[in-house]
Amino acid sequence: NAGVTQTPKFRVLKTGQSMTLLCAQDMNHEYMYWYRQDPGMGLRLIHYSVGEGTTAKGEVPDGYNVSRLKKQNFLLGLESAAPSQTSVYFCASRGQLNTEAFFGQGTRLTVV
Amino acid sequence: DQQVKQNSPSLSVQEGRISILNCDYTNSMFDYFLWYKKYPAEGPTFLISISSIKDKNEDGRFTVFLNKSAKHLSLHIVPSQPGDSAVYFCAASRYTNAGKSTFGDGTTLTVKP
């Protein structure tokens, strides 16, 4: 059981570059989420999706875009990376009958 | 304004003793509360949860207590084991709101052998 898989695990970007983080889940979950975690802080919700083809803004959406073209995948895009986006990014998924979320292992992104 | 607060950044206890981690929330609309455990370089994993219709939920060594009037919940670990050393996040959500959770900043628990 792979669960939730994030790609890549690590990345260093230069300011202004773009990139896409991929999240894949094999549990047929309806809900998917992107969080970021900064040092000493909890997880903050960036964007989320309640089903294939739908996305919505979370607490800190600025500078990010998302897409959910397939139920199992949730992509997080940075169009023009900034040093303030240096963080650890976590993807999570949840089924309609679940109360808890299942998290990926995280992507450590550094923007220089 | 932080809606979920874990006021103790760290906690150290001796193996075999009780660990008590605390969490306060401000939004009275929250009706579901979860605790996640996180080891370094891994994603959070679900530990235990409680609905607002209950005041206690127990799962093995882990018990969560909810005091709605005080908007306070706590996680008790008895007995504590060295493998419990991790960061513990309290999270709160509205059950019907797509399960979006608001997280506290976490408490780092160290259990000494």
| CA–CA min distance B77, chain A (Å) | 20
- With bands split at pLDDT 50, 70 and 90, how would you rate the model's confidence at B100? confident
Give the one of B41, B99, B102 whose C-beta lies nearest to A101's C-beta.
B99
Contact B104/A at CB under 8 A: yes
Query: Sign of the CA dihedral B34, B78, B107, B43?
Result: negative
pLDDT over 70 percentage in chain B: 96
Residue in B closest to A42 by C-alpha: B105
Cβ contact B18:B76 at 8 Å: yes
Over residues A30-77, the pLDDT tens digits come to: 999 999 999 888 899 999 999 999 999 999 999 999 999 999 999 999
- Among A31-35, A88-92, B50-54, B95-99, the minimum mean pLDDT is found in B95-99
Spatial CA neighbour of A60 closest among A40, A39, A42: A42
Please state, in angstroms and rounded to a whole number, the distance separating the CA atoms of residues B45 and A105: 10
Q: What is the band of A1 on the pLDDT scale with cuts at 50, 70, 90?
A: low
Strand partners, B57: B64
Distance of alpha carbon B21 from alpha carbon A22, whole angstroms: 34
